[in-house]
Amino acid sequence: MNAKRMRDPEATRASLLIAAEEVFLEKGFGNTSISDISGRAGITKSLIHHYFGSKEGIWQAVKQRRFNYYSDRQLKMLENSELTLGLLRESFILYFHFLKSNPEIVRILAWMFLERDQDDCVHKDRELVEKGIERIKSGQKMGQIRSDIDPKFILFTFIGMCQHWFQDKEHFILDFCGGEKNIPEDLDELYLDAIQKIFFEGISPK
Amino acid sequence: MNAKRMRDPEATRASLLIAAEEVFLEKGFGNTSISDISGRAGITKSLIHHYFGSKEGIWQAVKQRRFNYYSDRQLKMLENSELTLGLLRESFILYFHFLKSNPEIVRILAWMFLERDQDDCVHKDRELVEKGIERIKSGQKMGQIRSDIDPKFILFTFIGMCQHWFQDKEHFILDFCGGEKNIPEDLDELYLDAIQKIFFEGISPK
DNA sequence: TAATTAATTGGCCGACCGGTTAATTGAAAA
DNA sequence: TTTTCAATTAACCGGTCGGCCAATTAATTA
């Protein structure tokens, strides 16, 4: 219906955001210029300042958008579940697949690490983390998880095993498999199986 | 002897490299200017082009130098050790502390991921990886390590648990500890203890 | 010593940076 | 229709960027 509107602020804002994300995640904040973004979006660069105030501003917006999506999804994941070992395993798998289909998250985090970005927007997941820790704690009380490890570390390890894979998978293929030949199609799943074994055996009570 | 030489190309080249590494790892490639580097080194910026050709050139040199240092050290680490579970644990701890005292490595590796660096210098550690896998395999044969997990994945997990910590420690402090207050001095060691428990319990035969 | 080579310098260049401004245009309100 | 306001544009700003070059200076060679 509005397909031919000559002006559609929402749409231009959106396509600026999309273009910005593409370029930022490809080259990082410092290497990206405003005109890179406007060029890719096919929109004058002035409009970036009009909608986002500054280069910093649109980078914030990009991050925020992605992290809101992230934590919304994650919260829903935790919402209606009492923790049992089975459900912990389930959310482990869910998280792994979430990262797999949202590689942007991994790149954003890596860029923020390198550019020493201390943005608060990342910490929307504090609530998420608290819930996760709560679940692990009760799992420990119920005797399903060994109690001699700080729940914070258990959760962090959980996250790390997944993130690290999607960050260094390429190195794995090159250095561990000796190149591109003979990589199994389901490499991701094979890895997921392996870390499940290590992780869940590792956190089980003796 | 040569302490007072007015010109010492090797020395200037070296101090340019050092300054470059400092600034690059501090601010990132894109946010660093040639004059930042030359300023810190106290050397005219023209010399950067003289020795390294371009900004890209000196960046490559920085990465290469650090990565060579990395794999050389790692190889020495593995050199004279038969694998027993005790030694595996020892090299786990060694690797962790190596990363702790060489944070540049973690940053460089993150850069390589983001820049999709297919540099040959990365593959220096293929030899490294092969040795590590060999050790784990023999550990499996001896019944010290469970055999139902691919040694490649065991090694990769090993590396990941350590790397991920030094990359996302800040997020851990913010999101998991609720800010800077009350962080134990020996947080690194506490984490190391935790992942040791998980990892070694996880790879033990039942 | 004289000639040659290489290290080092400061000054300069065009390009591009992020950001601002004033003017133009389209859509919606009156 | 007229008015009003937001969306959009192009031109422009001072500043900095990476890179280049010609001149100078120290070490090496003949």
Domain residue ranges of chain B, discontinuous segments joined by +: 1-53, 63-203
pLDDT at B54: 97
- Closest Cβ opposite residue B164 in set A31, A160, A199: A160
Residue A82 has pLDDT above 70, yes or no: no
Q: Are B16 and B48 in contact (CB under 8 A)?
A: yes
Contacts of residue B145, Cβ cutoff 8 Å, sequence gap at least 6: B85, B88, B136, B139, B154, B203, B204, B205
- Closest Cβ opposite residue B201 in set A116, A164, A202: A202
Q: B187-203 vs A151-171: helix axis angle to the nearest 10?
A: 70
Q: Rounded to whole angstroms, what are the CA distances from A157 to A166, B46, B94, B196?
A: 15, 47, 19, 11
Mention the CATH class of domain B1-53: mainly alpha
**Tokens at A130, concatenated:** 């608290």
pLDDT at A2: 36
pLDDT at A123: 76
pLDDT at B79: 73
Helix (H, G, I), strand (E, B) or coil at B83: coil
Tell me how far apart the alpha carbons of residues A167 and A103 are, in angstroms, rounded to a whole number: 9
* Cα B3-B17-A56 angle, rounded to 5 deg: 140
**Tokens at A126, concatenated:** 């504090």
Q: Rounded to whole angstroms, what are the CA distances from A160 to A95, A97, B39?
A: 11, 14, 38
For strand D, the positions having any atom within 7 A of a protein Cβ are: 6-11, 16-22, 26-27
The CATH code belonging to domain A7-53 is 1.10.10.60
For residues A33 and B124, the model is more confident at A33
Chain A nearest C-alpha distance from B122 (Å) = 8
The single-letter code of the amino acid at A39 is G
The single-letter code of the amino acid at B197 is K
> Among A34-48, B81-95, B149-163, B169-183, which is the least confidently predicted range?
B81-95
Residue A19 has pLDDT above 80, yes or no: yes
pLDDT at B122: 60
Helix (H, G, I), strand (E, B) or coil at B198: helix
Query: Judging by beta carbons within 10 Å of its beta carbon (0-12, 13-18, 19+), is residue A79 exposed, middle or buried?
Result: exposed
pLDDT at A167: 96
* Distance of A24 CA from D4 C1′ (whole Å): 38
pLDDT at B95: 93
The single-letter code of the amino acid at B100 is K
Mean pLDDT for all residues in chain A: 91
pLDDT at B3: 40
Tell me how far apart the alpha carbons of residues B170 and B159 are, in angstroms, rounded to a whole number: 19
Same CATH fold, B63-203 and B1-53? no
Model confidence pLDDT, tens digit, residues A128-166? 899 889 989 989 999 999 999 999 999 999 999 999 999
Mean pLDDT for the stretch of residues A182-203: 96
pLDDT at A66: 93
Tell me how far apart the alpha carbons of residues B194 and A180 are, in angstroms, rounded to a whole number: 35
Rg (C-alpha) for chain A, rounded Å, is 20
Mean pLDDT for the stretch of residues A68-94: 80
> Among A165-179, A184-198, B79-93, which is the least confidently predicted range?
B79-93
Which residues on B lie below 8 Å from A202 (Cβ)?
197-202
Q: Are A175 and B159 in contact (CB under 8 A)?
A: no
- Tell me the pLDDT band of A1, cut-offs 50, 70 and 90: very low
Q: Are B62 and B121 in contact (CB under 8 A)?
A: no
Contact state of A160 with B155 under an 8 Å Cβ cutoff: no
- Tell me the pLDDT band of B121, cut-offs 50, 70 and 90: low
* Cα B17-B22-B23 angle, rounded to 5 deg: 100
Residue among A156, A161, A186 with most chain B CBs within 10 A, to mutate: A156
φ/ψ of residue B148, rounded to 5: -95, 20
pLDDT at B5: 61
The CATH code belonging to domain A64-203 is 1.10.357.10
- Tell me the pLDDT band of B126, cut-offs 50, 70 and 90: confident
**Tokens at A112, concatenated:** 């923020």
For residues B182 and B119, the model is more confident at B182
- Tell me the pLDDT band of B206, cut-offs 50, 70 and 90: confident
Tell me how far apart the alpha carbons of residues B73 and B67 are, in angstroms, rounded to a whole number: 10
Contact state of B176 with A203 under an 8 Å Cβ cutoff: no
- Give the number of C-alpha atoms closer than 13 A to the C-alpha of residue A24, restricted to the C-beta side: 29
Spell out which residues of B between 46 and 75 contact strand D, using CB within 7 Å. Answer: 46, 49, 54-56
CATH superfamily of B63-203: Tetracycline Repressor, domain 2 (1.10.357.10)
Mean pLDDT for the stretch of residues A106-111: 96
From B65, B84, B205, B197, select the one nearest B139 (Cα to Cα): B84
For residues A85 and A119, the model is more confident at A119
pLDDT at A176: 83
